[in-house]
Amino acid sequence: MKVSIIGYGEMAKAILLGMKNSGWNMQEVEVVGRDENKLKKLANEIGCKYNLIDGYDISKKVVILAIKPYALQEVSMRIKGEAEVLISILAGKPLIELQKYIKAKSYIRAMPNIAAKYGASTTAITGDIEAKEIAFEILSKIGDVIWLNSDDEIDMATAIIGSGPAFLAIIAEAISDGGVYIGLKREVANKLTQGLFKSFAALKEEFPEIKNKVMSPKGTTAEGIYELEKEGVRGKIIKGVVKTYEKSKKI
Ligand SMILES: NC(=O)c1ccc[n+]([C@@H]2O[C@H](COP(=O)([O-])OP(=O)(O)OC[C@H]3O[C@@H](n4cnc5c(N)ncnc54)[C@H](OP(=O)(O)O)[C@@H]3O)[C@@H](O)[C@H]2O)c1
């Protein structure tokens, strides 16, 4: 199967690394973009082929679109042909818009995240049922894949899966800052915070019961939880998710 990825940014690189690490034959993969130096650098790093975007023929290929959402129209004018399958990871670009700009036999919209490079993305997808199998085959190389039933659900998933790593990064930084505030050296606070997230990942199946297992009557955790709730942390996080979803409707 010939796979082309249009774009060589953070996500394109993460997907390519995930595919490579899964044992995918990278000689069958081509990275496509407008800057030859950037293309060459990434293709060398990954061990795949590369091609400039102007006049690029997407026919008979599975194309992963990994450019900025605002560049969709411009990119569509630079390529030709009809892809076998188009898999777009663009935030906020519904299937109907993809169909308007890029020709393909079938379409998939996917929302992965940056952990794709470790094979640890969770990728939400939707689209044409006939492309479901091929999309699962490729995207399962970068982590778990979850089929959703509409564009709107992908926009909602964007607020959790796509943007979520940045939200958790803020929480991680704040926890480490708290550690420094009470007297830990920064490197110790960071190391403990990294350890915390590793522990949390191991507990994921116990979610949402984790808090209740840690918070005991009159305990230290209860004291911290009371303060966080008093400050409205939960409401702020919910609002962050809502605003992200709303923004994805305006791209
Ligand atoms: N970052 C994430 O965590 C994440 C998660 C899920 C989905 N996404 C989606 O993934 C897509 C890529 O995000 P990213 O984080 O990888 O962005 P990025 O690192 O900024 O890379 C953007 C890519 O788009 C290309 N591009 C921009 N304008 C172009 C144009 N007019 N013609 C051709 N190529 C153009 C850039 O090429 P140049 O360098 O030549 O400009 C670059 O290859 C976005 O649509 C985003 O919504 C991102």
| pLDDT single digits (tens) 220-235 | 999 999 999 999 999 9
Residue minimizing CA distance to atom 1 of ligand 1 = 11
Cβ-defined contacts of 220-229 (< 8 Å, 24+): none
Q: Considering only CA atoms, which of 60, 59, 54, 61 is closest in space to residue 30?
A: 61
pLDDT value, residue 1: 83
Q: Provide the phi-psi class of 234: left if phi over 0, else alpha when psi is between -120 and 50, else beta.
A: alpha
Residue minimizing CA distance to atom 27 of ligand 1 = 68
Q: Considering only CA atoms, which of 50, 56, 153 is closest in space to residue 103?
A: 56
CA 87 – ligand 1 centroid, Å: 14
Binding pocket residue ranges, ligand 1, CB within 6 Å: 7-12, 33-35, 38, 53, 66-69, 71, 74-75, 89-91, 111-114, 162
State pLDDT tens for residues 84-125.
999 999 999 999 999 999 999 999 999 999 999 999 999 999
pLDDT value, residue 221: 98
CA 123 – ligand 1 centroid, Å: 17
Show the beta-strand stretches assigned E in the chain: 3-6, 29-33, 49-52, 56-57, 62-65, 79-80, 83-88, 104-111, 121-127, 143-147
CA 68 – ligand 1 centroid, Å: 4
Contact, 46 vs 16, CB < 8 A?
A: yes
The CATH fold of domain 3-149:
Rossmann fold (3.40.50)
CA 187 – ligand 1 centroid, Å: 32
Residue minimizing CA distance to atom 20 of ligand 1 = 9
- Pick from 67, 79, 154 the residue to mutate for probing ligand 1's pocket: most ligand atoms within 8 Å of its CB: 67
Residue 84 DSSP SS3: strand
Counting atoms of ligand 1 from 1, which one is nearest the CA of 68?
45
CA distances from 6 to 63, 87, 244 (A): 7, 10, 25
Largest CA distance in the chain: 68
Residue 185: Cβ-neighbour burial (10 angstroms; 0-12, 13-18, 19+): exposed
Residue 187: Cβ-neighbour burial (10 angstroms; 0-12, 13-18, 19+): exposed
User: Which part of the chain has CATH 1.10.3730.10?
Assistant: 164-248
- Give the pTM: 0.96
State pLDDT tens for residues 43-70.
999 999 999 999 999 999 999 999 999 9
User: Which part of the chain has CATH 3.40.50.720?
Assistant: 3-149
* CATH for 164-248, options being 3.10.180.10, 3.50.50.100, 1.10.10.10, 1.10.3730.10: 1.10.3730.10
